[in-house]
Structure 1
Amino acid sequence: MLNAIVIGGGLAGSQAAIYLADNNVKVKLYEMRPNKTTGAHTSSDFAEFVCSNSLGAQSVTSASGLLKEEARLLGSKLIEEAYNNRVPSGNSLSIDRWGFSKKITQIIENHPNIEIIREEITQLPKTPTIVATGPLTSDSLCSEIKKLTGEDNFHFFDAVAPIVKKETINFEKAFYASRWDKGNADFINCPLNKDEYENFYNILTTAEKIPLKSFEAKYFEGCMPIEVIASRGFDTLRFGPMKPVGLFDKRTREEHHKNYQFYAVVQLRQDDKQADLYNLVGFQTNLKWGEQKKLINSIPALENAQIVRYGVMHANTFINSPKILNKTLQTKFNPNLFFAGQITGVEGYSESIATGLFAGINMLRHLRGEKLLELEAKCMLGALLEYITFANHKAFQPINSNWGIVEKPQEVEKLKKKSKEEKGALLSNIALEYIKEIRNGYFC
């Protein structure tokens, strides 16, 4: 029987392990938790969502939605279970993070082809291995990877948003709505007037932060701490996570003129299936916990909010993929070694799952002695792989799914006056037809 090792039980590693095991490969899955913690995870479960509980937009006319559909078509078990554990969040796919990870843990623990080994890997095996240790790779393994690759790892900081109990929100001052009333009104909105925003801003910009470690902090724009956003100017938050446009309280809208909008709005997104917990959207932070409580309680609708998880900040690690990886996710220097997930420089849950799946697909082909699969940049997954392995980056930084990296045929380039949705629909159709051809050609 074929054998492989997967290091890391996060989203990418779990997806890779399940795919291989489902295809009759005996998998040894190494996960150091709970014996050694990361500082960000809260359990020993597999596929734990550490930051937000959202996998982004659902519509395939969006970059994120397209990537999820591509992964689903290629056989992603984690995308399937994400939909089984979804919670209301408008047009986004948000999940019950605990229900999801419990289900994936159950699948892995009960799989006859997966052996779980709860220990830290400090040396890379010589046998076929997928490294999917994520952005919180241990120092020992980082050192081992650096020895093998001859490249320094890059460091940047990631941050997690606080979660509050719904029953402690003041709904006399908060309201349900989606932006421009699109989709279901699944978000809880906490408005602020100008004076309230000024007070909030002053608390935020003078709050005490947890000291950073000695190495330089590099922020990924998609998960930037709110205090860093605020440091760029008084109104920056009002054009970012506290953007008020398109949000209206139906109870009071008629009292104001038609185009009335709040000065700023804090949005809360459902975090569990029971709708007991809500996270503050875009409020990733490195403030000390006492300062977080003071800041959150300065928001009128959250003046008595009970915080069940405070925001935290942690170092993230990723390899210099353009110099280390082929587009197959196989390393250039060792055919038995593959990387997947955020350690490769993709950013986001869907991206981690998709690359974990792709590494699993190519590891299976490697074990069978078959030609490895490469995807063209006409699909979102292919575009991500093209980007992270592109040799001419001046300064390689993490990337998430976006239309800017996708190959655009002439018929799309001619649609300059068309809407984003129309262009997205055309690109999506091209990508999905291509993925179906790949699936039918390689897997049938």
Structure 2
Amino acid sequence: METLHIIGGGLAGSEAAWQAAEQGIDVVIHEMRPKVETFAHTSGNLAEMVCSNSFRSDDSEQNAVGLLHWEMRAAGGLIMEMADAHRLPAGGALAVDREAFSQAVTDRLTAHPRICVEHGEIADLPESGIWIIATGPLTSTALGAAIQQETGAERLAFFDAIAPIVYADSINMDVAWRQSRYDKGDTEEERKAYLNCPMTRDQYEAFIDALLAADKTEFHEGETASYFDGCLPIEVMAERGRETLRHGPMKPVGLTNTHKPEEKAYAVVQLRRDNALGTLYNIVGFQTKMKYGAQQDVFKTIPGLEDASFARLGGIHRNTFINSPTLLDDQMRLKSRPNIRFAGQITGVEGYVESAAMGLLAGRMAAAQIKGGHLPPPDPETATGALITHITGGAEAKTFQPMNVNFGLFPPVTGIKGGRKRRPERYKAYTDRAKASFQTWLDSQTI
């Protein structure tokens, strides 16, 4: 049978390769790293996580992304298997040791008898063969130009930011304390998964002043700053109002300072473990476009981080995606070149899990095509189906922007009226319906 070629070895490309190979298809992954580096990546490994180490909520009954976790596990997803294997305590979220996770994905893929990895840049759209482009937000300039020339449209893009990582032994634990918000978690380790740095009102006001005055990365002439709302730089949030951060990533609710239990913090900065050893912590929600020197000056005003040493500072990068509702069919194929599928974040989904889920679909659809069959997408009542429906026609093309999975993308459930009090019942109805539908979709396939 024909070989499947995949451009890009991120989470989407890795999952696509695994799914196709498990169905008996030979796969070549074309990954330009480490020969061609990017701003955000630090290695040549596959499935490297650059912005965060969190896959977000793992609750498959009350959360849409948790439901997506469930669906990918049900489909034998490699990304979820390796995430579970390298999971870190995160109080109900699924966070991983990012280096161990990436290495494990790389090892499993390179050991698969049907998968070959070739390192080098693909600069043009392939004329023949079955291909998946899963190059993500950091698509190379040359390939991006080829996509633009083929589609005849401006590439859409927004800017994405990365949060800094701190060495754990440089955090002052006489000030910081361990606690997950609302003590969430099934074990003592989960309930103490985060480090918390408290601020008084005066300290918070001084922090906001320093943040607003700090030197920041400037955009090139002609570029406009368009951000994804789920990953706003903290200084952009602060510009929207001095209290914005205190009601966002720095909210003090659900936390009690074990050093001073009688004092209520005005704001709290949280840090989440970034590796299994517990030697690295990332500052939660602190994506930034401040220049490096300014970052150290500003972040060291946070109580408990006065002597912080940074393993990695934050940064901002251009995040490219295509207008999928106009360019792709319901098989994720480029309408003008049906031998080419797109998968992952470049299609306009946002988030690690969403990107990997689109890779899972693209890999299975390509495998079915190579075998001479046709695999319809899952029903839009499922999390995976809701995403592909959104990007291939459900969204308004004129205002298309990257989207996380959420229950607003699902067909409404019937028989349950609105209202906050009935939200848990309504979400449970969404997830029960989705799980049954997704299992039916899986059972309909011959693997």
Q: TM-score, normalised by structure 2?
A: 0.95
Matches within 5 A, 1:36-51: 36-51=36-51
Does structure 1 residue 8 correspond to structure 2 residue 16? no
Does structure 1 residue 335 correspond to structure 2 residue 338? yes
| Cα offsets for 1:367-399 (capped at 9, x unmatched) | 112123222221111111111122634311000
What is residue 250 of structure 1 aligned with on the other side?
258
Matches within 5 A, 1:229-240: 229-240=237-248
2:209 to 202, 213, 217: 202
What is residue 344 of structure 1 aligned with on the other side?
347
Separation in 2 of the partners of 1:139 and 1:50? 19
Separation in 2 of the partners of 1:417 and 1:24? 47
| Cα offsets for 1:90-138 (capped at 9, x unmatched) | 1000000000000111112222212211111011212100000000001
Identity of aligned residues (%): 44
Separation in 1 of the partners of 2:192 and 2:446? 41
Aligned length in residues: 438
Does structure 1 residue 82 correspond to structure 2 residue 68? no
Q: Structure 2, unaligned stretches of length 5 or more? A: 186-190
What is the letter of the counterpart of residue 87 of structure 1? L
**Cα pair 2:379 2:386 within 8 Å, conserved:** yes
Shift of 1:336: 1.3
**Cα pair 1:39 1:314 within 8 Å, conserved:** yes
Shift of 1:283: 0.4
Does structure 1 residue 216 correspond to structure 2 residue 214? no
Separation in 2 of the partners of 1:117 and 1:171? 46
What is the letter of the counterpart of residue 285 of structure 1? T
Shift of 1:78: 1.1
Separation in 2 of the partners of 1:331 and 1:199? 51
Does structure 1 residue 420 correspond to structure 2 residue 423? yes
Per mean C-alpha deviation after superposition, the further-off stretch among 367-376 and 294-303 is 367-376
What is the letter of the counterpart of residue 397 of structure 1? Q
Q: Which runs of 4+ in 1 moved over 3 A?
A: 391-394, 415-419
Does structure 1 residue 410 correspond to structure 2 residue 414? yes
**Cα pair 2:159 2:319 within 8 Å, conserved:** yes
What is residue 97 of structure 1 aligned with on the other side?
98
Shift of 1:431: 0.3
RMSD: 1.3
Shift of 1:417: 5.4
Separation in 2 of the partners of 1:389 and 1:23? 25
| Cα offsets for 1:268-295 (capped at 9, x unmatched) | 0010011110000000011111111111
What is the letter of the counterpart of residue 304 of structure 2? A
Shift of 1:329: 1.3
| Cα offsets for 1:396-435 (capped at 9, x unmatched) | 10000111111122124x2535443322211111100111
What is residue 177 of structure 1 aligned with on the other side?
179
What is residue 54 of structure 1 aligned with on the other side?
54
Matches within 5 A, 1:45-444: 45-60=45-60, 61-125=62-126, 126-183=128-185, 184-214=191-221, 215-253=223-261, 255-256=262-263, 261-390=264-393, 392-412=396-416, 414-416=417-419, 418-443=421-446
What is the letter of the counterpart of residue 133 of structure 2? V
Shift of 1:151: 2.0
What is the letter of the counterpart of residue 370 of structure 1? G
**Cα pair 2:289 2:315 within 8 Å, conserved:** yes
Separation in 1 of the partners of 2:331 and 2:421? 34
**Cα pair 1:322 1:389 within 8 Å, conserved:** yes
Query: In the superposition, relative to structure 1, how do residues 419 and 171 fare at CA in structure 2: closer, same or farther (>3 Å)?
Result: farther
Local SS of the residue matching 1:129: strand
What is residue 188 of structure 2 aligned with on the other side?
none
Query: In the superposition, relative to structure 1, how do residues 307 and 419 fare at CA in structure 2: closer, same or farther (>3 Å)?
Result: farther
Separation in 1 of the partners of 2:24 and 2:220? 44
**Cα pair 2:326 2:397 within 8 Å, conserved:** no
Local SS of the residue matching 1:285: coil
| Cα offsets for 1:288-322 (capped at 9, x unmatched) | 11111111110011111111100011001000000
Separation in 2 of the partners of 1:324 and 1:230? 36
What is the letter of the counterpart of residue 273 of structure 1? A
Local SS of the residue matching 2:401: coil
**Cα pair 1:155 1:217 within 8 Å, conserved:** no
Separation in 1 of the partners of 2:39 and 2:216? 17
Separation in 1 of the partners of 2:71 and 2:171? 38
Separation in 2 of the partners of 1:387 and 1:379? 12
| Cα offsets for 1:335-391 (capped at 9, x unmatched) | 211000000000000001100000001001111121232222211111111111226
| Cα offsets for 1:68-99 (capped at 9, x unmatched) | 11111122111111000101111000000000
**Cα pair 1:155 1:216 within 8 Å, conserved:** no
Separation in 1 of the partners of 2:434 and 2:350? 20
Shift of 1:16: 0.6
**Cα pair 1:10 1:47 within 8 Å, conserved:** yes
Shift of 1:182: 2.1
Q: Structure 1, unaligned stretches of length 5 or more? A: none
Separation in 1 of the partners of 2:370 and 2:213? 56
**Cα pair 2:175 2:259 within 8 Å, conserved:** no
What is the letter of the counterpart of residue 114 of structure 2? N
Local SS of the residue matching 2:6: strand
Separation in 1 of the partners of 2:81 and 2:423? 27
What is the letter of the counterpart of residue 297 of structure 1? K
What is the letter of the counterpart of residue 340 of structure 1? A
